[in-house]
Amino acid sequence: MSTSSDLLALSLPRLARHRLHPVAPVGTGLAEVAAGMAGVHAQVLSAAETSLAIRVDGATRADVRAALWEERSLVKTYGPRGTVHLLSTTDLPYWTAALSSIPWHSPHAQNVRMDDGQTDLVVAAIADALADSELTVDELTEAVVQRVGPWAGERVMPAFQDQWPRWRQATAVAAHRGVLCFGPDRRRRVTYTNPRRWVPAVEPVKADEAARWLAGEWLAAYGPGGAEELARWLGAPTSWATKALDGARRGEVPAVADRAPAALLLPYFDAYVVGFRPRPLLFPGPAWDRALTPSGQAGNYPVLLVDGVVAGVWHSRRVGSMVHVTVETLRDLTADELDAVEQRVLRLGQVLEARPTLTFGPVTVGGHA
């Protein structure tokens, strides 16, 4: 099988499941699309808004915000690998049951880490403090310390040239146990709350059932693949992934197109790019050096896909009601491909509710940290 046919065999079902080609029709629920993607990366929320909106015909970033903060059909929380994701609220009980069953070991030094008993105490304190509140990090720190003692607030955890309170190493653990998620920002300050305020009461999901469900969702979004790939995507032991894949049922894949799209503009940390394996098929030739970090991490650069492979990088700059888009191509594009890029930029402007301009030339902005 040729490299080109290898790529098509992998990418066309994945593009369909990710609602990139064909996109979902007008009116499709954003939570449904997020579920089909097995979660939307949301380290940069503005990029996540773009990532999700481009997948539904006519959708804008305002629609994503409404689904997240008004309808509550989406929830912003810690997902695979402890990274921030937008997940379908309906699916959250399955996510939390699966993620909380993955063995967790603290990466911190002995004098920083909490033992299992301390972690349980902190998670219980977080659940109680957030039961009917939306708290900033400082407010939650005070609430946790009040409930478990001053040791939880000791600033011993190295992070971003600062020292965070000890309890914060359990943030993702609390999210995976279903008692913490993000609330709306308060004057540009992050808040947390308890997702049980929004998720309807449901019967608890058994861990093994949830693990098989999550493995099936991953297979639909990123398959085919084996335990090592699933373990890498989740940040889980291979033994856990092997057991999860045993009996997993692959989720439904929408109708698959017969060819790759002429052009796609995918933002920072788009899930399709981050989760795509094997990487060399998606990042051929110069794309490997230009669009990946030196360690091979994807997502730090917004990418241009042409015929299903990375053929450039791009950057956008918002100025008032305008958004200026610069596209750096890694090969010469045909007239039809250039026209396809222009159409994607127009769609990006619609998503961002701005008037777009397009320039072809070098992107001088570095990768996102």
**Region 264-360: CATH code:** 3.40.630
pLDDT of residue 2: 47
CA distances for 18 relative to 24, 30, 84, 105, angstroms = 9, 12, 18, 32
Which tokens is 179 given?
A: 């008692």
pTM: predicted TM-score of the whole model, two decimal places: 0.95
Under-70 pLDDT residues of the chain: 1-2, 369
Can you give the pLDDT at residue 1? 39
Q: Are 233 and 201 in contact (CB under 8 A)?
A: no
- Which residues lie below 8 Å from residue 320, measured CB to CB, with a gap of 6+? none
Q: What is the pLDDT of residue 365?
A: 94
| Main-chain phi, psi angles of 319, to 5 degrees | -135, 100
Q: Write down the domain spans for the chain.
A: 16-197, 207-245, 264-360
* pLDDT value of residue 199: 83
Q: How confident is the model at residue 336, as a pLDDT? A: 97
DSSP secondary structure of 128-157: HHTTT--EEHHHHHHHHHHHH-GGGG-EEE
pLDDT at position 299, please? Answer: 95
322 by DSSP, 3-state: which?
strand
Residue 162 pLDDT: 86
| C-alpha dist (Å) from residue 251 to 7, 139, 188, 214, 215 | 21, 40, 37, 9, 9
